[in-house]
Amino acid sequence: TQLLEQSPQFLSIQEGENLTVYCNSSSVFSSLQWYRQEPGEGPVLLVTVVTGGEVKKLKRLTFQFGDARKDSSLHITAAQPGDTGLYLCAGERGSQGNLIFGKGTKLSVKP
Amino acid sequence: GAGVSQSPRYKVAKRGQDVALRCDPISGHVSLFWYQQALGQGPEFLTYFQNEAQLDKSGLPSDRFFAERPEGSVSTLKIQRTQKEDSAVYLCASSPGVAGYTDTQYFGPGTRLTVL
């Protein structure tokens, strides 16, 4: 059973379009993290959200943590080909930093 | 470079062989994690070290998997009698302090293991 469900699994869009990726769970997490992973590389942390209702912005990326701390979203404005990659959400389980990852959303932005 | 490095980057093993995967964390990082990432999936936690102590090995799938970090720096993940279902990318991550949500995990590029 996947604790964190991401949708959509695949997304192919044109440069300049907006998109939203969702990360949902029936469990409460103390924090949620978003990573981007490129082929042949490890995931790279984009942001950590901790407080229910929190919104964080990173240039064209906006991250939101649900009020109940069970879900999160990532919105990209005016996507660029350089945004192409696998976007993973991860929740912290326990007190030692063990991360539970979703399956990821594979984003392709075409010029 | 100052990042996490892993070797080998690619490993092909025949079913039944033993393999050893190495992780060099960022110098001085206290915490070290191993994850397994199957094709089309997100990473799954295997085990966690704080310095040389293995504090959590709840994610290791079977007793064929063994990890160590004897001097609190380099870590080795060993898989004995490899099976086809062990084929995956094995990721190592380190973080500066005692693990917790405030501590960023820095991932290595992974070792892609293929078991024939």
Confidence at A99, pLDDT banded by 50, 70, 90:
confident
pLDDT surpassing 70 at residue A86: yes
Contacts of residue A98 in chain B, CB cutoff 8 Å? Answer: 33, 45, 48, 56, 59, 99
A10-24, A41-55, A91-105, B43-57: which has the minimum mean pLDDT? A91-105
CA distances from A102 to A26, A72, B4, B40, B101 (A): 13, 12, 23, 11, 17
pLDDT surpassing 60 at residue A31: yes
Interatomic CA distance for residues B31 and A20, integer angstroms: 33
CA distances from A51 to A33, A54, B100 (A): 12, 5, 15
Contacts of residue A92 in chain B, CB cutoff 8 Å? Answer: 100-101
pLDDT surpassing 80 at residue B99: no
How many Cβ atoms from other residues are within 10 Å of residue A95's Cβ? 11
- pLDDT of amino acid A98: 76
- pLDDT of amino acid B104: 86
With tokens 């879900």, the residue in question is: A71
- Across the range B14-26, mean pLDDT stands at 98
Search chain A and give the residue with CA nearest B105.
A45
CA A43 to chain centre: 11
Search chain A and give the residue with CA nearest B41.
A103
A-B C-beta contacts closer than 8 Å:
70
DSSP state of B26: P
pLDDT surpassing 80 at residue A108: yes
The radius of gyration of chain B from alpha carbons, rounded to an integer in Å, stands at: 13
- Across the range A5-13, mean pLDDT stands at 96
The Cα of A13 is separated from the nearest Cα of chain B by a number of Å equal to 20
